[in-house]
Chains A and B, each alone.
Chain A
């Protein structure tokens, strides 16, 4: 198969073969792009469709490249293999400037096009508000957060512009290893309740180390940085119960640091808030604490870790028995 100098007459069938190959490749890419939606959790925020569409686009382009390259490699392995004991060299082709320019320029244009498209999506999503470093050197305590709205803020921090439909700001407080949510009316909970189709404002606060506020069904994640307060906003778009996970490694019992997000209708949300307001504060369920108590009971074996922070005092605790959709 290493015969040099193919005649012009031969060119027709091979062009046809290449065209058929490209067609099949395009079909495979289209199929994979459609399939890619099934690898992801349900779409439960307004950001999710943008993320999934971009992922599908990239899956399609990626499949085209992977299948195309693999097909060429497979072709050479099928037809350009040296017979046993054949020590001949292959065609001494040293390069082809046209081809090299093509495979520099086309990938360049493709990635720039994806980048351009993505910058547009970024502008649409813009979930990240300002990040303010705390003006005070004193570490945050639960007591200083008790009166909502009295959060120590850096000078010049922007008030969040809200229209009447918007909800918040809800303070999200992460600790090693618990989540606590404080609503504008002062209600505290360790599972997050949100009304559907309303823009929600958050203030993300970490009391100790880095944490990550990550809701896979929303396709959104933002780190919580000790010493800073980060404004964040999102709009849930589908009712249901979803997981909220700590995504930035936070030590010892990091894996247990998850809770649920309950997205419900506006009326249900208001009713929940009102009921929660009447409920007394009590320590939340806390998985890290359970494991820690068990470890202490078994003689405190294992490697070093800071003890878990005391479970937050909340009006509504999360219930580990609930099942989540995603």
Chain B
């Protein structure tokens, strides 16, 4: 496999610089270094993100323990506020964004035949900021007064109240952490966009690119356009909090509503930054496990960009009840509802891909099917929330909490699990245990439904979100939700057991265990440091040619043989 490293005719895209700790494939120490290999960085991202999934999940279970009874009796209400703020922040900024950046790192270069990212050092820097802002956020548990308790929105004037008056406080650390996360994500976005646009294998036109790369590009463009706005808003908030400015303080002539615009201009599209790559994962996995081409590939690809464009003009739907004039509510209601069209196209395309397929219900497929089912449900409640009169009633209630957990957990995190199982053999070289995977799926599906479905009901009845105590009429829904949350905690046991035991003693994985079509499956498992190195295959047909009997690349058999021999 490494016989061609000293070939005189190097592909100019291949990076040949000495790495700080290149090490052999089996050297675990490289995962703790400033390594510039995208596959090492990808695994670093995913491992640390999964660690924070456990932290965020633990916080959630304490919250659900508090909410299993109506009064605030487990923790002090101020502690509850800190817990839910940190739960949201950890899950978004320390689990979902990093885990998806991990997949971008692992998948994009092999899928397009590139040796590495366009800017490997920038890539490593973007990753190493992640433990830094992770530690800063966790440190806020230790400062006097505890972590930020103003919610992950951090709306002023609440977020700038600073009750104890200390210069170093939980809110300050929260803002620093979120701002650093934004800087890291911008570095990542520059890298991913450049790599996708400039480093594709010969013959791979945009319309021969796998959908995951389309959706990654669409999502990372949102990062480039939206994140500067959030970062600016965070900087102003920090100045209001620590240096006495009054960008958002009414008594100094500022306007608290201004912050909400800065915040949601990025933070609504941020949902699509997380959802789009999962749409990509669904589009990759359905063809593999239904043994059929992706239905309407081109339309599915283009729909990603329709989502990108629309996502940037919907943010005011978070402010329908904040004193927004009627004409503005109407405009943003229409733009929000239009998002149902491109997402609908994708959902219908996935279902049509299943139609008359040859379906295999392996663990990744189960997570994909359940993820799409949950996404249809969440899309329907999403359209309900878009219509102003319904939003006026259920906005800021548990209905919204149920809705976005259906998106963020029951769809996005299901997609993350599907992707972990599907590409586990490729990047670790080991097969996972199917029965443990199915157990993980069943527990997760029951737990998440029990957890998040009754929340809709509580919200319709008028239970506000973010409360530490509630009126007794909401008890039934909350008991169900708490039981579901504890079951989700149990579900992580087979998951972690599977990851660890497969990694240690799972059967060796062949290059293409799922009989899938794609450049990454023409590589050995795990792929060598620079993928195809200077022998990059020439792509001659579009992806997902299942049942069409056409080769994906020139000399396909030679690449398949080489991967087997490696």
Contact = CB atoms under 8 A, between A and B. Distances in A.
Interface of A: 1-2, 39-41, 47, 50-51, 54-55, 58-59, 61-62, 65-66, 69-70, 72-73, 76-77, 80-82, 86-96, 99-100, 103-104, 107-108, 111-112, 114-115, 118-119, 121-123, 125-126, 128, 131, 133-134, 137-139, 208-210, 212, 214, 216-217, 219-223, 225-228, 230, 243, 245-256, 258, 291, 295, 301-306, 324, 326
Nearest to B395: A221
A249 B329 CA distance: 22
Contacts of B128: none
Interface in B255-314: 255-257, 290-293, 295-299
Given A94-B293, A251-B149, A118 B326 contact: no
A107 B344 contact: yes
A222 B326 CA distance: 13
A47 B77 CA distance: 33
B333 A227 contact: no
Given A89-B358, A90-B356, A249-B153, 14 more contacts: A58-B384, A70-B376, A80-B354, A86-B358, A90-B292, A93-B292, A93-B293, A99-B352, A104-B341, A222-B321, A227-B250, A255-B77, A301-B76, A305-B163
Contacts of B145: 303-304
Given A76-B359, A303-B147, A51 B76 contact: no
Contacts of A61: 380
B146 A304 contact: yes
Nearest to A76: B354
Contacts of B359: 76-77, 80-82, 90
A249 B151 contact: yes
A111 B383 contact: yes
Interface string B467-493: 111110000000000000000000000
A2 B393 contact: no
B395 to A, nearest CB: 7
A214 B463 CA distance: 10
B345 A216 contact: no
B376 A66 contact: yes
Given A72-B351, A209-B157, A115 B337 contact: yes
Contacts of A92: 292-293, 545-548
Contacts of A114: 337, 383, 387
B361 interface: yes
B188 interface: no
Interface in B341-385: 341, 344-345, 347-349, 351-352, 354-361, 369, 372-373, 376-377, 380-381, 383-384
B464 interface: yes
22 contacts: A2-B357, A51-B392, A66-B376, A72-B354, A73-B354, A73-B372, A80-B358, A87-B515, A90-B359, A92-B293, A93-B292, A99-B348, A100-B299, A103-B344, A111-B341, A128-B325, A134-B250, A210-B157, A225-B257, A226-B157, A227-B255, A251-B81
Nearest to A204: B323
A230 B256 CA distance: 14
Contacts of A256: 77, 469
Contact of A90 (B78, B170, B326, B358): B358
A262 B81 CA distance: 30
A222 B147 CA distance: 29
A118 B389 contact: yes
B150 interface: yes
B396 interface: yes
Nearest to B355: A76
Interface string B143-165: 01111011101010110010110
Contacts of A230: 323
Question: Which 10 residue pairs spanning A and B have beta carbons closest together?
Answer: A227-B250, A216-B462, A303-B146, A304-B145, A89-B547, A62-B380, A90-B357, A92-B547, A302-B76, A255-B467
A184 B393 CA distance: 28
A122 B334 CA distance: 13
B350 to A, nearest CB: 9
Contacts of B355: 72, 76, 80, 93
Given A208-B157, A248-B396, A221 B384 contact: no
Contact of B393 (A99, A115, A221): A221
Contacts of B290: 76, 80, 90
A66 B380 contact: yes
B515 A223 contact: no
A54 B460 contact: no
Contacts of A111: 337-338, 340-341, 383
A214 B34 CA distance: 52
A306 B165 CA distance: 10
Contacts of B150: 249, 251
B447 to A, nearest CB: 20
A107 B349 CA distance: 14
Contacts of B291: 82, 88-90
Contact of B376 (A69, A133, A214, A303): A69
Which residue, A126, A225, A304, has most C-beta atoms of chain B within 10 A?
A304
A256 B470 CA distance: 8
Interface in B236-258: 250-253, 255-257
Contact of A107 (B326, B329, B340, B467): B340
Contact of A94 (B297, B348, B389, B469): B297
